[in-house]
Structure 1
Amino acid sequence: MPLPETMQAVVLGEPGTIATTTLPLPRPGPEDVLVHVRRASLCGTDLKIRSRRFFPDGGPQPGTFVPGHEYAGVVVAVGETVDELRVGDRVVTEAHRGCMRCTNCLSGRYTDCLNYGRRHTGHRAQGMTVNGGFAEYALNHVSALHRLPDSVGFDAAVVLSTVGTVMHAYDTLDSLLVGADVAIVGPGPIGLLATQVASELGARSIALVGTREARLAVGARFGADLVVNSRRQDAVTAVREATRGVGADVVLECSGAPSAVDDALRMAKRSGRVVLVGFFEEPVRADLNHAVMNGISIDTVRGEGAGSLARAIALAARGRLRTEELVTHHFALKDVSEAFDTYAERRDGALKVMLDVSEDGGEPG
């Protein structure tokens, strides 16, 4: 089938506004792949992009930029040098494509590319520095796409992008999670998936801390041995008591709450590891003397780097992940404003809010 000349796409307007419009269809360069997007989901970064707080310089001109960095679809065209994928392949995207020439990229840390935002060097961040997947079609570098197993549907596939972030967080550890006591702060999509992955990777115990009972209940189904409502009990005390007074080997801070960093440090055992995964809205105060005096290491991660999305797909292919259970809402592309508001206001327990960009074919039976 011939490709159209134009497509429907979501574009940023003035700060706080977003809408659909008609844009020219992007054309693949030699190393590019054009994807017909089936599903795309929202995350907290998209809210910052809509408000333009994400952009240090105020961002692109209204009506020109397409957000969206979590999406999956079907390949409809490939560049002349691409032989890794074929038309008809079902794929999920990795948001970050480093320049692949700086020292960070060459060592596998392409989410920390030293040429971030400099398109002429080869760097791309879908929906953040270049147009993304809130559109009928999206252009990707071939290295940022992964073929989907037949058993993984598009809803599940899109959420695998978030699993990639979780896998990247666990990559920072010096050892496997097998036998480790793990505490996770923040039962949003990242925290809930971190719970599920820790269970699948053999953690000895998993504590999940949050303030919303419904989300904590999901965490219990995903493998949390202890759920702590921090509005009702002291989370640090609960985690330390559950770990025989020693503290957790690994603490993931996924909430982005300013007070949670200090709590995470106090949940960790001596020589434990704290990984900061959430993004913070304001400067954080924490007792770093406690970390220094107890040999606690602090790491940070951004996105799904170091090939972590491929490992998430491998787990999903074996039926070890239930990512589609986090999808709570579906909206048509034209209803994107309502989708954003639903996600931002957490209406009806919203977790992962999905845009159904197109429906025709490609979904496993």
Structure 2
Amino acid sequence: MPGTALPPTSRQVVFPSAGVIETAEQSLPSPGQDDLILRVALVGVCATDLHLLAGHIGDPFPLVPGHEFVGEVAAIGEAAAVTRGLSAGDRVAVEMLLPCHGCARCREGRYNLCEADDPSSGLPHGRQLGVNIPRTVSPGLWGGYAEHLYVPREAIVHRLPDALAWESAVLVEPLAVACRAIARGRVAPGESVVVIGPGPVGILAAAAARAAGAGRVIVVGTRANRLELARRFGADAVVNSRETDAVDAVHAELGGRLADVVIEIAGATGAQQQAVRLVRRGGRVVLAGACGANAPVTFLADEDLLTREIDLLPSFLSAGGFEPAIRMLERADFDYASLVTHRFGLDEVREAYDVIENRDGGVLKAVIDPSVGVSAR
């Protein structure tokens, strides 16, 4: 396909083992007929990335991390260009999931729960770009902390509007997670929604609830600066659960009622227990925050669940969320780019992680920019 010639190699960040960060060069092949190569513009830093480095998510080492990536098509195979309707230079977002597209779960649209192997791909089901495909799997370009990323045939690719700034576009994956959670909660116009956890996804969940027509949106958390930021993204009210009883506060905000829908995105079992106490009888609770392996959570079987007949709905990853997320970013109802507070180069990942872990400089969303500190090729 026409376009700028690919360089012979691509720089990338590698986690060779738990706790170790290196940079390396990887050979950059031409794409196969059904594949494309993405030039990474920006990649968001997710808490999952820090857990990967710590060895909390299996043993995929050596690994190139980064699953919140957006960029331009650097090269594309002839068949992929036809089937995807793309050409070199097009701006795209690529989902981290590599589903088989043929199993029962994929056919019903729940490809985040893919349960079958695709024998032609060589990639077992459940593989995710930037999360658990080792660098030793050819061609070794599976993560977004890099100048380039290999996008195989089974990947789900979305074209981005040409006018959408990268600083907004890089939020498409966390916003897609939020959109899926809102869809799982079946939020209807006029309903009240409580979001627990004002991190980047929680703040975006408030915006997604507003986009779904929620009548009143309340965000619950413990960090005052992030709670105030949530007001700029659709929250009508915020509750600092460190300073006040959340149930009493939600009652007061909703005129003596509890929420129709509660979205838990804090990633803590205590927040999940709090969620079921903030929803009305017959309401819906969406559990979208990952709490880590072997994290038990206890509910009162009768008092919390049975006699209140609430729907408890886990929401896993972002399947079906990219399309509404892209529409929201394009509408620009909120200043999405303002959520990106810090930018680092490929050689500054350790510094980025230190900033995030120490909560320095009011960090909210940090991104990796592969062009930082690199002369043009």
Q: TM-score with structure 2 length normalisation?
A: 0.89
Alignment of 1:242-257 (within 5 A): 242-257=253-268
Question: One-letter code of the match for 1:216?
Answer: L
Instruction: Report SS of the residue matched to 1:65.
Output: coil
Candidates 23, 26, 46, aligned match of 1:23: 26
Structure 2 residue 71 is the aligned partner of structure 1 residue 73: yes
- Range 139-148 or range 165-174, more displaced: 139-148
Instruction: Report SS of the residue matched to 1:238.
Output: helix
In 2, Cα distance between the equivalents of 1:245 and 1:7?
A: 58
Alignment of 1:273-292 (within 5 A): 273-281=284-292, 282-289=295-302, 290-292=304-306
Alignment of 1:173-188 (within 5 A): 173-174=185-186, 176-188=187-199
Candidates 11, 14, 19, aligned match of 1:11: 14
Instruction: Report SS of the residue matched to 1:184.
Output: strand
Structure 2 residue 335 is the aligned partner of structure 1 residue 334: no
Structure 1 stretches (4+) deviating beyond 3 angstroms? Answer: 115-119, 121-124
Alignment of 1:31-180 (within 5 A): 31-55=34-58, 58-60=59-61, 64-82=62-80, 83=82, 84-115=85-116, 120=122, 123=125, 124-130=127-133, 131-141=142-152, 143-174=155-186, 176-180=187-191
Question: One-letter code of the match for 1:223?
Answer: G
- Gap runs ≥5 in structure 2: 134-141
Does the 8 Å CA contact 1:42/1:70 hold for their aligned counterparts? yes
In the TM superposition, what is the alpha-carbon distance from 1:26 to its structure 2 partner? 4.4
Partner of 1:363: none
Alignment of 1:183-198 (within 5 A): 183-198=194-209
Partner of 1:265: 276
In 2, Cα distance between the equivalents of 1:138 and 1:121?
A: 16
In the TM superposition, what is the alpha-carbon distance from 1:243 to its structure 2 partner? 2.0
In 1, Cα distance between the equivalents of 2:198 and 2:339?
A: 11
Instruction: Report SS of the residue matched to 1:14.
Output: coil
Task: State the identity as a percent.
Answer: 37
Instruction: Report SS of the residue matched to 1:150.
Output: coil
In the TM superposition, what is the alpha-carbon distance from 1:286 to its structure 2 partner? 2.4
Q: TM-score with structure 1 length normalisation?
A: 0.92
In the TM superposition, what is the alpha-carbon distance from 1:240 to its structure 2 partner? 2.2
Task: Kindly tell me the number of residue pairs found equivalent between the two proteins.
Answer: 353
- Gap runs ≥5 in structure 1: 361-365
Question: One-letter code of the match for 1:277?
Answer: A
Instruction: Report SS of the residue matched to 1:320.
Output: coil
Instruction: Report SS of the residue matched to 2:354.
Output: helix
In the TM superposition, what is the alpha-carbon distance from 1:6 to its structure 2 partner? 1.0
Does the 8 Å CA contact 1:26/1:138 hold for their aligned counterparts? no
Q: Please give the per-residue CA displacement for 1:150-188, whole angstroms capped at 9, x wherever unaligned.
A: 2211111111111100111122134x4310100010000
Does the 8 Å CA contact 2:344/2:369 hold for their aligned counterparts? yes
